[in-house]
């Protein structure tokens, strides 16, 4: 497939333009030519020298990631930025990035993937940021105990540590809000939506007291582990479009 055609198709599928005013990430094609063809795509959570090199070793024409290399612009191409861009250019690997669009996409997004793994039904958008949503909230097909939900999260691919639990909610967990990565700032919205628990990747110091005072449990399942779902789902969509894919797994343990 022609690279511009693929970029346009990804942008349309992910509604990339709708996040332009709220996302610091420069979503879309971050590094690449104006033309060219794409036969194989490597997908990964992060754009780093390790994943770029793995994409090159896999003979990928494009690396598709959740976390790119441009956050609010690149003023100087030196140091770490130079190393990453040089690795892309020298290996003739283009870079496509989808940050917030791939968090909240109702079908392909990270939160949707977590909700699928947890068998959440009756889902609704959750995690508002301006005109868009970054997560989902739904009802467990069968109620969880805190230990049951923790075990399910610990089983996620890329999970290299035990899920941390702030267990301040009810013993019977039915309504679960999901916002992957760093989603602790949406705790109040989860409470207002009637959630018994918030599942996210990592937390902040203040979330302990906020959760305790609000009577809601918070599950910190790992930033990386909760954000493999989007790129893997996109890999499946790319396969449907006739493009060969490979998943570059590089867990951070965080």
One-character DSSP codes across 55-70: HHHTT-SEEEEEE-S-
Q: Residue 223 annotated as binding? A: yes
One-character DSSP codes across 68-82: -S-BS--S---HHHH
Q: Residue 124 annotated as binding? A: no
Q: Residue 99 annotated as binding? A: no
**In the 8-state DSSP scheme, what is residue 162?**
P
Question: What count of other Cβ atoms lies within 10 Å of the Cβ of residue 31?
Answer: 21
B/e letters for 54-85, b = 16+ CB within 10 Å, e = fewer, are: bbbebebbbbbbbbbbbeeeeeeeeeeeeebb
Q: Residue 103 annotated as binding? A: yes
> What are residue 37's DSSP bridge partners?
2
One-character DSSP codes across 188-199: HHHHHTT-SEEE
Compute the C-alpha angle 244/10/100, nearest 5°.
115
Q: What does the radius of gyration of the chain's CA atoms come to, in whole angstroms?
A: 18
**Cα–Cα distance measured from residue 52 to residue 93, given in angstroms and rounded to the nearest whole number:** 8
Q: Residue 66 annotated as binding? A: yes
Binding site per annotation, positions for a divalent metal cation: 66-67, 103, 223, 227
Binding site per annotation, positions: 66-67, 103, 223, 227
């Amino acid at each position: 497939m022609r690279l511009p055609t693929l970029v346009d198709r990804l942008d349309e599928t992910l509604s990339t333009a709708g996040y332009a005013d709220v996302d610091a990430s420069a979503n879309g094609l971050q590094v690449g030519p104006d033309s060219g063809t794409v036969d194989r795509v490597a997908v990964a959570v992060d754009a780093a020298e390790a994943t770029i090199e793995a994409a090159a070793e896999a003979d990928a024409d494009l690396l598709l990631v959740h976390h790119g290399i441009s956050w609010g612009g690149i003023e100087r191409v030196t140091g770490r930025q130079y190393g990453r861009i040089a690795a892309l250019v020298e290996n003739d690997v283009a870079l496509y990035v989808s940050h917030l669009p791939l968090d909240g996409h109702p079908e392909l997004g990270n939160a949707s993937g977590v909700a699928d793994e947890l068998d959440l039904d009756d889902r609704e958008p959750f995690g508002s940021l301006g005109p868009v949503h970054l997560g989902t909230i739904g009802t467990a097909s069968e109620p969880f105990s805190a230990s049951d939900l923790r075990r399910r999260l610990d089983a996620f691919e890329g999970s290299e540590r035990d899920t941390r639990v702030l267990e301040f909610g009810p013993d019977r967990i039915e309504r679960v809000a999901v916002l992957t990565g760093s989603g602790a700032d949406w705790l109040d919205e989860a409470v207002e939506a009637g959630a018994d628990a918030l599942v996210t990747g990592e937390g902040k110091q203040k979330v302990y007291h906020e959760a305790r005072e609000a009577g809601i449990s918070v599950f910190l399942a790992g930033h990386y582990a909760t954000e493999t779902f989007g790129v893997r789902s996109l890999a499946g969509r790319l396969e449907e479009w006739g493009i060969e894919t490979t998943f570059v797994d590089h867990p951070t343990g965080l």
